[in-house]
Amino acid sequence: MNIKITLPDNSMREYPKGSSAMEIAKSISEGLARNVLAAKVNGEVRDLNRPIEEDSSLQLLTWTDAEGKSTMWHSSAHLMAEALEFYYPGIKFWVGPPIQNGFYYDVDFGGQAFSADDLKKIEDKMAELAKQSNAFVRKEISKGDAVNYFTERGDQYKLDLLSNLEDGGITLYTQGNFTDLCRGPHIPHTGYIKAIKLTNVAGAYWKNDSNNPMLTRIYGITFPKKSELDEYLTMLEEAKKRDHRKIGKDMEIFTFDDDVGPGLPLWLPNGGVMIEELERLAKKTEQRAGYSRVRTPHLAKESMYKTSGHLPYYEDSMFPPMECDGEKYYLKAMNCPHHHKIFKELNPSYRDLPIRLAEYGTCYRYEQSGELFGLMRVRALQMNDAHIYCTKDQFAEEFNAVNEMYLKYFRVFGIEKYVMRFSTHAPEKLGKKYVDNPELWKQTEDMVRQVLIDSNIPYIEVPDEGAFYGPKIDVQVWSAIGREFTLATNQVDFAVPARFGLTFRNSNNEMETPICIHRAPLGTHERFIGFLLEHYAGNFPIWLAPQQVSILPISEKFNGYAKKVLQLLRNSDIRGLVDDRDEKIGKKIRDAEIKKVPYMLIIGEKEEAENAVSVRQHGKGDQGSLPIQEFIDRVSKEIQELLDA
């Protein structure tokens, strides 16, 4: 009897019932059969050698398919487990999934020491086992037999997994001397794994719960070709060079100091310039969009955070309070309550709405010490914050305008890869995790969703991740080295204004509670500049570059003219420096290139005589000579165009 197999190109072929995907691959081409790792049968990824019993659609997965990679990495995790068990008999395994780059396995070493120094011998053992081309053998087993098997081995972890599995469809996989409870699928045999790198070892809580004991998590990655591993390692090296902590140090953007404290960044002069430029951009953009700027203190009394409802939920993330005149004061971890107080003072009528209060507010959050990470996770942060108070009728338009602002910023910064993470509520948790107002949840979520759809913004919807007071959108971006960041956040709040008793007088002369939109398109200076450092690898667009022009006199004789040029640049708000060291021009150029200064002006006898400058552009080389004023006009125009994107 034959079955019909439909391939991705919609062609159909007939095979005897019970043919395996591998046999089908061989029938198509030898080359394909050599490269195929797993098969997608009717949408389910499966082992290649499992017989196919009915008419099916079939996709043969290779290394170029994400699912092909995952299958290989999952199998690699098993291979690693086998190597680990060889050296550390009796250790217990939790789970070993494939991840974005490679795989890990969580291991309980039962008190035996294991460190990064031991990775090499495991790698070598894995290579040895891979060469044996041991088949991954799938075996269906009843739940009872499985429980017996793992009880006998005293494996509480696999028993825990089993307790959540239904009888039927439970499978074991064995390769060489290692057997694991596993749903599969796997590659046919270990010989497919040609290059192995165990990247690091770390602790991880069992079931990701910090109340549970820690297991040892070992990360690794494998490839079907040695050359691909080399490429991957080179890529990691490159990523290291773009790390914002390294660039930030090299370019003197920021630093930390033991005496100041962990997570409290000091912005060096170059970082100060970037902050000034970002704030200038934000203020201008917000001014045009009808925002009002306010300023609020860095602390407030305990009572305000009780009113806002932040204290009970947020106390652990706030710095401990300071006692003063018999009162407790907290450093602010968010600007919202202060802004709410301002709204209240304004006592507006519906004719005054929307009211948009903006502030680059400084907040302090007591992040756990292990969470601090360069500029990305800090304890003092300045947020591009604003709160928009509007009526229900105004909400969609206001929300859309906020989105437009996000998109403008993405253009200015050349951010092409982004996703909006739209977090909604979970109906069954109304009244617990979420404010109990189903109509408003539905209404605001529908409006937000519609704005996202209308503006054609890529987004993913995540249920049960909203704030307690409303749905929110987090902007996910990816830095050039592939690190994912939540850059900015945008939240709808229909609850806290009520807690503060915020009202406006509507057209019927009744008091009504406004909806509040929290938004911070540029996130915080800390995280945003951290992101920009990696995004641009320090090669900032000229408007943002701490130093825009380096003036390089050929010899000391021209230092005077160089200073004159510098003053002209400064008069036109262009940031420059004269390199008047007693060095040769080649050296000065080299140093300016390394510092990634966008423009270098080489100045000698000819330039001084002609009131000109010789322009060299970073990364592009000699651009010829220009009259000074022409250069200034060109730079000013370039800056304007970048900001008007």
Partner RNA sequence: GCCGAUGUAGCUCAGCUGGUCAGAGCUACUGAUUUGUAAUCAGUAGGUCGGGGGUUCGAAUCCCUCCAUCGGCUCCA
Considering only 179, 524, 548, 550, the residue that binds RNA (CB under 7 A) is 524
245 binds RNA, rule: CB under 7 A? yes
Considering only 411, 417, 433, 606, the residue that binds RNA (CB under 7 A) is 606
605 binds RNA, rule: CB under 7 A? yes
Could you give the count of Cα atoms lying within 13 Å of 464 in the half-sphere of its Cβ?
5
203 binds RNA, rule: CB under 7 A? yes
Please state the closest distance from residue 625 (CB atom) to RNA, in A.
7
**Selection from 519, 505, 496, 504 nearest residue 340 by Cα:** 496
595 binds RNA, rule: CB under 7 A? no
251 binds RNA, rule: CB under 7 A? no
607 binds RNA, rule: CB under 7 A? yes
Considering only 87, 621, 636, 645, the residue that binds RNA (CB under 7 A) is 621
Considering only 372, 412, 419, 480, the residue that binds RNA (CB under 7 A) is 372
Considering only 11, 64, 210, 456, the residue that binds RNA (CB under 7 A) is 210
CA distance linking residue 93 with residue 419, whole number of Å: 35
365 binds RNA, rule: CB under 7 A? yes
Contact status, residue 220 vs residue 198, Cβ threshold 8 Å: yes
Q: Which amino acid is at 383?
A: M
CA distance linking residue 208 with residue 599, whole number of Å: 50
195 binds RNA, rule: CB under 7 A? no
Considering only 583, 634, 638, 643, the residue that binds RNA (CB under 7 A) is 583
Stretch of 190-198, 337-345, 378-386, 493-501 contacting RNA, by CB under 7 A: 378-386
Considering only 128, 140, 302, 371, the residue that binds RNA (CB under 7 A) is 371
263 binds RNA, rule: CB under 7 A? yes
557 binds RNA, rule: CB under 7 A? yes
Q: How many residues does the chain have?
A: 645
Considering only 587, 629, 630, 641, the residue that binds RNA (CB under 7 A) is 587
- Phi, psi angle pair for 242, to nearest 5°: -95, 0
Considering only 187, 600, 626, 635, the residue that binds RNA (CB under 7 A) is 600
Stretch of 157-165, 427-435, 483-491, 509-517 contacting RNA, by CB under 7 A: 483-491
Residues 132-151 that bind RNA (CB under 7 A): none
Q: Which two tokens stand for residue 208?
A: 């990701």
Question: Which ranges of 45-132 does DSSP label H, i.e. alpha helix?
Answer: 66-87, 119-131
Considering only 20, 134, 216, 296, the residue that binds RNA (CB under 7 A) is 216
Which of 444, 476 has the CB closer to RNA? 476
Stretch of 185-193, 492-500, 517-525, 533-541 contacting RNA, by CB under 7 A: 517-525
Which of 2, 255 has the CB closer to RNA? 255
Please state the closest distance from residue 521 (CB atom) to RNA, in A.
10
How many angstroms from the chain centroid is the CA of residue 479? Answer: 7
Considering only 29, 142, 486, 640, the residue that binds RNA (CB under 7 A) is 486
Element (H, E) at 32: helix 30-35
309 binds RNA, rule: CB under 7 A? no
Which of 104, 291 has the CB closer to RNA? 104
Considering only 533, 544, 554, 569, the residue that binds RNA (CB under 7 A) is 554
CA distance linking residue 251 with residue 158, whole number of Å: 51
Which of 24, 77 has the CB closer to RNA? 77
214 binds RNA, rule: CB under 7 A? yes
The neighbouring-strand residues paired with 471 are none
Q: Provide the sign of the torsion angle of the four alpha carbons 520, 526, 527, 528, taken in this order.
A: positive
594 binds RNA, rule: CB under 7 A? yes
200 binds RNA, rule: CB under 7 A? yes
Residues 6+ apart with CB under 8 A from 329: 299, 300, 301, 302, 321, 322, 323
3-state SS track over 153-203? CCCHHHHHHHHCCCCCCEEEEEECCEEEECCCCCCCEHHHCCEEEEEEEEE
100 binds RNA, rule: CB under 7 A? no
Residues 30-59 that bind RNA (CB under 7 A): none
Output the CA torsion 615→617→620→625 (10° steps): -10
CA distance linking residue 545 with residue 289, whole number of Å: 26
Please state the closest distance from residue 391 (CB atom) to RNA, in A.
26
Which of 158, 245 has the CB closer to RNA? 245
Stretch of 169-177, 388-396, 561-569, 617-625 contacting RNA, by CB under 7 A: 617-625
Contact status, residue 59 vs residue 32, Cβ threshold 8 Å: no
Q: Which two tokens stand for residue 184?
A: 């599969």
Give me the sheet containing 515-520, strands edge to edge. Answer: 292-293, 355-364, 380-390, 515-520, 484-493, 472-478, 418-423, 459-462
DSSP, residue by residue, 599-620? EEEEE-HHHHHHTEEEEEETTT
Count of residues engaged in binding RNA, rule: CB under 7 A:
73
Q: Which two tokens stand for residue 166?
A: 């239904």
3-state SS track over 373-389? ECCCECCEEEEEEEEEE
The neighbouring-strand residues paired with 511 are 505
Which of 38, 251 has the CB closer to RNA? 251
CA distance linking residue 223 with residue 32, whole number of Å: 17
Which of 141, 426 has the CB closer to RNA? 426
Stretch of 132-140, 230-238, 618-626, 636-644 contacting RNA, by CB under 7 A: 618-626
616 binds RNA, rule: CB under 7 A? yes
Stretch of 70-78, 254-262, 338-346, 501-509 contacting RNA, by CB under 7 A: 254-262
Please state the closest distance from residue 147 (CB atom) to RNA, in A.
27
Considering only 370, 508, 571, 644, the residue that binds RNA (CB under 7 A) is 370
Considering only 10, 115, 456, 509, the residue that binds RNA (CB under 7 A) is 115
Considering only 353, 388, 495, 589, the residue that binds RNA (CB under 7 A) is 589
Please state the closest distance from residue 484 (CB atom) to RNA, in A.
9
20 CB neighbour count, 10 Å cutoff:
18
Q: Provide the sign of the torsion angle of the four alpha carbons 241, 244, 248, 253, taken in this order.
A: positive
CA distance linking residue 410 with residue 414, whole number of Å: 6
Please state the closest distance from residue 205 (CB atom) to RNA, in A.
4
